[in-house]
Amino acid sequence: QTVAMIGLGYIGLPTATVIASRGVKVIGVDVNQHAVDTINRGKIHIVEPDLDGLVHHVVNEGLLVAQTTPSEADAFMIAVPTPFTEGTKPDLSYIEAAGKAIAPFLKKGNLVILESTSPVGATEKLAGWLAQARPDLSFPQQAGEEADVQVAYCPERVLPGHVLRELVENDRIVGGMTQRAAEMAADLYHIFVKGECLLTDCRTAEMAKLTENAFRDVNIAFANELSIICDKLAINPWELIKLANRHPRVNILQPGPGVGGHCIAVDPWFIVDSAPEEARIIRTAREVNDFKPHYVVTQVVEAASKFKAPVIACLGLAFKANIDDLRESPSVGIVAELAAKGVGRILAVEPHVDTLPKKLQGKVELVDTQTAIDQADIIILLVDHKHFGRIRAEKLQRCIVIDTRGFWSNK
């Protein structure tokens, strides 16, 4: 059998590669010519541990071929972006474009699987676009179990940095528009998934993905709110959380400078958009987490007011520890806000990158850890990179330290 993967980004490329590594022929499709050319040379255009070697192998074996337009296959998987721009609606235009691109190649017996994080109802919309483009074929919304082309929703749930392991080991939610669609999709995932495939309908599967990330967001918001309350009451929040977590039914997450990444800070808004009156905790959690970077800025501004010409060292720009991903990072936002306020000379340290993101260029100096620590009056720990474990405690004693992750304050 042949599988076509539409979208060769952070999810599509690893998934296509793992399927190909099981000996299945995979056609990878992406509108980005550079990505297609890079992959066909056996190289990768994204950062994910161990992915480069596996891509090299499957491309060499002729099992993965990238192209800019689809061709015929038995199953079509779609892993394209679904952005949510604040104050507007979820943007399904990439899914619609993917549907229109595969429609001419569909034939009886095909399966179409949507993997992109989507609002509830998106899979049914996709099936509608496919049916519109191919009136000669039947789809589940009219023909149910007997449809010529079955359609399913199976969310990806992998953690960036651990994608290859989690793709194989995690349980997989498989939501069919029909029972047949779910069974066909489960058969496909069984090729590479060692976890369990849990069958359900597509609306439940869509909501499950959003629920997982909203659950985490709400729990991080609880920790972030606690940390602000603790500052007011002069309590160490990390010690407090550690103690409370010794209760057998309490498990509080870690406070930080805010929530970043492309999923947890975005997905809850899909739920809020679908049920604005009802989603009260979910909306408030987003607001609490989005407020945290501004709170950190206020702390720094207050500390800076004690110096004539303060030098401020900002440690870490990535959205979480030990990765090089600076997109949607609260740390970058904090550093940019500090620079805009002109509170002092700002040194940024990010051991995983060579250049600053555009919005910091010319305003902030990118330096190594040693230089930053030697020159700083104020040190802000923004990311708990292992790398910062090298900093010696006595170096910190002559500065004001604002430790947003509990890296040093977690007793």
Q: Is the dihedral of CA 52, 53, 57, 58 positive or negative?
A: negative
**DSSP assignment letter at 358:** G
Say whether residue 264 binds ligand SAJ (CB under 6 A).
Answer: yes
Out of 90, 140, 175, 256, the only residue in the binding site for ligand SAJ (CB under 6 A) is 256
**Cβ-Cβ contacts under 8 Å for 107 (sequence gap 6 or more):** 72, 137, 148
Say whether residue 334 binds ligand SAJ (CB under 6 A).
Answer: no
Closest distance of CB 253 from ligand SAJ, Å: 3
Interacting stretch for ligand SAJ, rule CB under 6 A, among 102-110, 177-185, 196-204, 254-262?
254-262
Query: How far apart are alpha carbons 1 and 63 in whole angstroms?
Result: 11
Q: x/- contact string, 150-169, with ligand SAJ (CB under 6 A)? A: ------xxxxx---------
Say whether residue 253 binds ligand SAJ (CB under 6 A).
Answer: yes
Residue 37, helix vs strand vs coil = helix
Report the site for ligand SAJ in 198-237 (rule: CB under 6 A).
212-213, 216, 220
Closer Cβ to ligand SAJ, 308 or 386, answer by number: 386
Out of 84, 139, 189, 319, the only residue in the binding site for ligand SAJ (CB under 6 A) is 319
Closer Cβ to ligand SAJ, 32 or 254, answer by number: 254
Contact assessment for residue 134 and residue 106, using Cβ atoms and an 8 Å cutoff = yes
Say whether residue 254 binds ligand SAJ (CB under 6 A).
Answer: yes
The question of whether 154 is a catalytic residue gets the answer no
Closest distance of CB 154 from ligand SAJ, Å: 13
Active-site residue (options: 154, 197, 202, 263): 263
Say whether residue 320 binds ligand SAJ (CB under 6 A).
Answer: yes
Contact assessment for residue 105 and residue 32, using Cβ atoms and an 8 Å cutoff = no
Say whether residue 14 binds ligand SAJ (CB under 6 A).
Answer: no
Closer Cβ to ligand SAJ, 159 or 229, answer by number: 159
Query: How far apart are alpha carbons 346 and 315 in whole angstroms?
Result: 11
Indicate the helix (H) or strand (E) that contains 335. Answer: helix 330-341
Interacting stretch for ligand SAJ, rule CB under 6 A, among 69-77, 261-269, 274-282, 390-398?
261-269
Angle among Cα 119, 121, 123 to the nearest 5 degrees reads 95
Residue 75, helix vs strand vs coil = strand
Indicate the helix (H) or strand (E) that contains 98. Answer: helix 93-102
Q: x/- contact string, 105-144, with ligand SAJ (CB under 6 A)? A: ------------x---------------------------
Query: How far apart are alpha carbons 369 and 391 in whole angstroms?
Result: 8
The question of whether 209 is a catalytic residue gets the answer yes
Say whether residue 270 binds ligand SAJ (CB under 6 A).
Answer: no
Active-site residue (options: 209, 292, 314, 320): 209
- The DSSP annotation for 112-172 comes to EEE-S---TTHHHHHHHHHHHH-TTS--HHHHGGG-SSEEEE----PPTTSHHHHHHHS-E
Closer Cβ to ligand SAJ, 134 or 286, answer by number: 286
State residue 126 phi and psi, 5-degree precision.
-60, -45
Query: How far apart are alpha carbons 274 and 284 in whole angstroms?
Result: 15
Say whether residue 28 binds ligand SAJ (CB under 6 A).
Answer: no
Q: Other C-beta atoms within 10 Å of 232: how many? A: 7
Say whether residue 382 binds ligand SAJ (CB under 6 A).
Answer: no
Indicate the helix (H) or strand (E) that contains 401. Answer: strand 400-403
Q: Under the rule (CB under 6 A), what is the footprint of ligand SAJ?
A: 117, 156-160, 212-213, 216, 220, 253-254, 256, 259-261, 263-264, 319-320
